[in-house]
Every structure is written in structure tokens, then in C-alpha cells.
Amino acid sequence: MSFPPAYFDDMYRQDDDPWDYRGSWYERRKRLLTVAALPRARYRSGFEPACSNGELSALLAQRCDRLYVCDISDQAIHLARERLADVRNVTFAQRAIPEQWPDASFDLIVIGELCYYLSRDATAELAQRACASLTADGTLVACHWRHPFEGKLQTAEDVHAAFDALPAWRRIVQHAEHDLLLDVWSKDGQSVAQREGLA
């Protein structure tokens, strides 16, 4: 990672919403796009690494029986716990990803705004770990900002290519616009209509 955990801890201590997740229409719209792109209405067990202050987690929790979230920053986890204090199906942890990937299976993994802080090798490791822990009917989502910023090690396209390279799953959704890249993969490769027997 290009910044140590203390960098993010300090950022969250100074501002509990450093990327204006609550106030920005861009950020709110991105969250809505992310959950709208999910091919299933309901998931048994979801995982969101790099959960930040829990704004996306709140939406994912509505779609999952159980949701596991983590962040490299203790302060971010503290804020996410506060944000989701009344939500009972979420478990929180401070973890560095991909090194501390949880030993569990998930049918939903959401990777948002994370991998361009990682090296290419670390992103490839993350993709392999995600693939190993995703169930046969599972969904992987990745969404990343396309503009440059200080400390960015890879482009969104670089990151998503690492996921695309794994033969175990197929991309079933791609949404590209000037600001962001959003992709969805699944191991069974079924579209929403195919899941419902319409196609």
C-alpha cells in the first residue's frame, strides 16, 4: 500500500467523511450504481474490504444475510461501527488486504476504491484470494476512480484487468464512464434474465 495505516487514521480523525461520501452526489450515485449492478437480490454472506466509514456497507447490509467488513484503518472501523450501530448483521475488523484476507467463503465480494493503492503483485494476490473464497454462485464487484491522484499505483483499467485475467469467472456487467469503472464477475456467468429463466 502506498500509504501506511497511520496516514488513514489521521485522515479520519481530522474528518469523519474525508471523501464526502455523505454529501457528494457523485459518491451517492456511485453507491447506488454499485448495488444496482448486483445480479442477485439477496446474498448469504458478503465481504467488503476497505469499508471506510460504512456508507456503502449500509446499503450492502440490506442485501446480505451477513456482511463482513474491514479496513486498514482502526479509525475507519470505529466510524463504520458508529454508522451501522443499529444494524445487526455486520461484523467489523481491522485488516490489511490482501495479506490478512479472511479464511471464509462469501457469495458477494465488493472491492471499491482499494486496488490502486496496491502494487500489481498485491492486486494479483487479492484477485486470487477473492477467487478462492468466492462460492460457485458468487458475485465479485470492483469499482474504481479513473482520475489520477497522489499515491495512485495503478489505473482502474490495470486493476480490473487483473480480475478479468482469472479464468474461473466471467464478467457479466461492465459500466465505464469518464470518472469511474464498475465491473461485475461471477463464476456461473449467468445474467439476471438467465437467473430468472427469461433468457
Question: Does residue 150 have a pLDDT over 90?
Answer: no
Q: What is the pTM of this model?
A: 0.96
Question: Does residue 1 have a pLDDT over 70?
Answer: no
Mean pLDDT across the stretch 161-188? 97
Average confidence score pLDDT of the chain: 95
* The predicted structure's pLDDT at residue 2: 62
Reported as a single tens digit per residue, the pLDDT across 59-76 is 999 999 999 999 999 999
Would you call the peptide bond into 18 cis, given omega within 30 degrees of 0 as the criterion?
no
Spatial contact of 123 and 162, defined as CB atoms under 8 Å apart = yes
* The predicted structure's pLDDT at residue 151: 83
Gyration radius (Cα) of the chain, Å: 16
- The dihedrals phi and psi of 155, each to the nearest 5 degrees, come to -85, 165
**What's the pLDDT band for 92 if we cut at 50, 70, 90?**
very high
Cell triple for 157: 483499467
Q: How far apart are the first and last CA of the chain?
A: 43
What is the rounded distance in angstroms from the CA atom of residue 197 to the CA atom of residue 176?
Answer: 27
Domains of the chain: 5-195 (3.40.50.150)
Reported as a single tens digit per residue, the pLDDT across 2-25 is 678 888 888 888 999 999 999 999
